[in-house]
Structure 1
Amino acid sequence: MPVKPDVTQRTTVAQSRLFRAEELHLTFSNGEERVYEKLCSGGPGAVLMVPMVDDHTVLMVREYAGGLEDYHLSLPKGAMDRGETPEQAANRELKEEVGYGADNIHWLKKIHLSPSYMEHKINVLIMRDLYAQKLPGDEPEPLEVVPCNIDDLMDLVMRDDVIEGRTIAALFMAKAWLEQQR
C-alpha cells in the first residue's frame, strides 16, 4: 500500500453558495511535490434512491439539470440533513421528490462522484414496499415520476435522456442485488 502524501499547505481558493474549492500542497513519499485542487463537500453527504414499485419497476424522475441546461431522467436524490442516517434521509427525500415512503430500505454502497478532485459522496439505497406519502420539497417545479422496467437495463441506460453516471451505476448495482434476492 502506498504511503499517503503529506499535506504541507491547505488554502480555500474559491467559495460560492454551493461550493468551496481548496488548494492542497502535497509532498509524496518519493519527494515529489504537487499542487492539487479539490471541491469540498458542504455537509454530511447525499442519498440516491432506487425506488422499486415491484421486482421489475423502478421509479425515476425527469428533472432540470443546470449543468446540462436541459431535462434528464435520473434516480431521485438529495442531501442528507445533519443528524440523519442515510436511511432516514432517503425516506424523507423519496417522499419529497416521488410522493412515496418505503417500509423496506436497504443500503447498498457509498460511492464517490469524482475522487480525483471532489470530496462529494452519495449513498445508494434500494427502497421497497412503497406507500403513498408526499412531503413538501425544495424543487422549483414538480418532478415528473417515470416508471421504468429495470429488467431491460441496457435499453434503459442507453436512452438519450439517461446520462448521469451515478444513476447508471446505481441501476446496475440494484439490479444485481435484486437478482440475488429472488
Structure 2
Amino acid sequence: MRNRIKNVTSKVISNFWAKLEQVSFDFIFKNGKVERLTHEVYGRNDGVAILLYNPSTKKVILSKQFRIPMYVAGVKNGFSIEVVGGAIDENESPETTVIRETKEEVGYHFSKLKKVATVFLSPGLMKEQVHLYVAEYNDDDKIDKGGGLASENEEIEVLEISFLEALQMIENKDIIDARTIMLLQYVQVKKLLS
C-alpha cells in the first residue's frame, strides 16, 4: 500500500502550556482523489494514570481536583474525580512518572505495578498517549499526606472509597474521566477485587 499522506506542513499556533499546531497535508483517498486537508493537533508530553486498589478492604484511591476545561464546559463546577495521573517529564520513564505522581498527588507508595494499556484519549485532536496502570496498596503504603505540589498550583483532595461506590459513581455520572472509567472497569472485568 502506497503512502497516502504527502506534503505535510506544520505551523505552530501556540506554545504556551502545550503546543497547538496547524498541520496541512495532501491525503490520497482510496478512490485516488487527492485533497489538501488541515487539522489542529494539540499536546505536550505523554502521560500516565494509575488506579490504586486494596484487595483486603475492597477500596480504591481516587482524587478530586479542579480542571479548567470542565469549568469552561460548564460541567461539575470544574471539579473532577479521577485516578492519579500526570505528564511524563523529559528523560523520565512512564514507570518513574507514575511512582512520582502517586506520591505527590495521594501520598502512597506501592510495590507491584501492572501496565494495562497505552491509549489515545482524543485521537482526533490530541497527540498525547496515556500509559495506564493499576497497583495494589494497603494502609502501610501511606507515606505522605498527598494533595499535590504547591509549586505546581495543585490542590488535590485524596479520596479512599469502596470499589462498589466508585462503580456507582460512574453510573451516577459523578466520575466522567475516561482514564478513571477505563481503569475501574479493568479492575471489574479482571475481578481484581472479587
Answer yes or no: same fold by TM over 0.5: yes
Gaps of 5+ in 2: 72-77
| d(CA) in 1 for partners of 2:18, 2:154 | 23
| d(CA) in 1 for partners of 2:130, 2:160 | 23
- Corresponding residue for 1:68? 70
Q: RMSD value over aligned CA atoms?
A: 2.4
| d(CA) in 1 for partners of 2:105, 2:176 | 19
- Corresponding residue for 2:49? 48
Matches within 5 A, 1:148-167: 148-152=161-165, 154-167=167-180
Provide TM-score, normalisation by structure 2. 0.80
State the Cα deviation string for residues 107-150 of structure 1 (Å, max 9, x = none).
11001011122211111100223512237635424311112222
State the Cα deviation string for residues 33-72 of structure 1 (Å, max 9, x = none).
14131324322x1101101133621111110010122212
Q: Which moved more, 1:98-107 or 1:126-135?
A: 126-135
The structure carrying a bigger helix percent of its residues is 2
| d(CA) in 2 for partners of 1:103, 1:19 | 32
- Corresponding residue for 2:26? 26
- What secondary structure sits across from 1:103 in the alignment? coil
State the Cα deviation string for residues 137-171 of structure 1 (Å, max 9, x = none).
35424311112222455412123431122221222
| d(CA) in 2 for partners of 1:57, 1:108 | 19
- Corresponding residue for 2:60? 58
Q: Give me the identity figure in percent.
A: 18
Matches within 5 A, 1:1-182: 5-20=4-19, 21-29=21-29, 30-43=32-45, 45-54=46-55, 56-69=58-71, 70-130=78-138, 131-134=141-144, 137=149, 138-152=151-165, 154-177=167-190, 179=191
| d(CA) in 1 for partners of 2:110, 2:26 | 45
Distance change >3 Å, CA 81–CA 72, structure 1 → 2:
same
**C-alpha displacement at 1:95, in angstroms?**
0.1
Provide TM-score, normalisation by structure 1. 0.84
| d(CA) in 2 for partners of 1:141, 1:151 | 28
